[in-house]
């Protein structure tokens, strides 16, 4: 994934074209996802619009100097949900609360983007 490109939006469009040509099902055979202390997964962060992307497969995520985050690319919910097998890796006590929110019956994907992992149509393993 060309995340260091100067034109992240152009890189996102180009990488999406590549994925669409390689992934006729729309998802990966295997995806390994993490969960951040704030409940993000991939680079889909709480309160940001990327968590609601339903059409595009790859988006750019702007830098956020306040959070010490560089700009980057990420795959979106449609690709993650269409993956055949998704493994969720989360290590450490700081991951307990975001994982509980992700699997809870209440809450939103805006608050805890890792909730989108509940929609995986293949198999998910935690």
DSSP 30: E
Q: What is the pLDDT of residue 1?
A: 80
Instruction: Return the number of other C-beta atoms located less than 10 Å from residue 102's C-beta.
Output: 24
Tell whether domain 8-125 is in CATH 3.10.129.10. Answer: no
Residue given tokens 């608050």 in the structure block? 111
Q: Residue 79 in 3-state DSSP?
A: helix
User: In this predicted model, what pLDDT tens digit does every residue of 36-45 receive, in sequence order?
Assistant: 999 999 999 9
Residue given tokens 């940001």 in the structure block? 48
- Whether residue 95 contacts residue 55, with contact meaning beta carbons closer than 8 Å, is answered with no
Q: What is the pLDDT of residue 126?
A: 61
């Amino acid at each position: 994934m060309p995340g260091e490109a100067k034109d992240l939006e152009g890189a996102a469009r180009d990488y999406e074209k590549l994925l669409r040509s390689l992934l006729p099902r729309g998802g990966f055979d295997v995806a390994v996802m993490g969960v951040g202390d704030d409940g993000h997964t991939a680079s889909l962060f709480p309160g940001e619009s990327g968590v609601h992307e339903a059409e595009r497969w790859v988006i750019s995520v702007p830098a956020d100097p306040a959070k010490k985050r560089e700009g980057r690319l990420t795959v979106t919910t449609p690709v993650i949900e269409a993956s055949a097998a998704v493994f969720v890796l989360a290590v450490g006590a700081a991951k307990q609360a975001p994982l509980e929110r992700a699997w809870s019956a209440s809450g939103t994907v805006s608050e805890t983007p890792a909730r989108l992992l509940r929609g995986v149509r293949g198999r998910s393993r935690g």
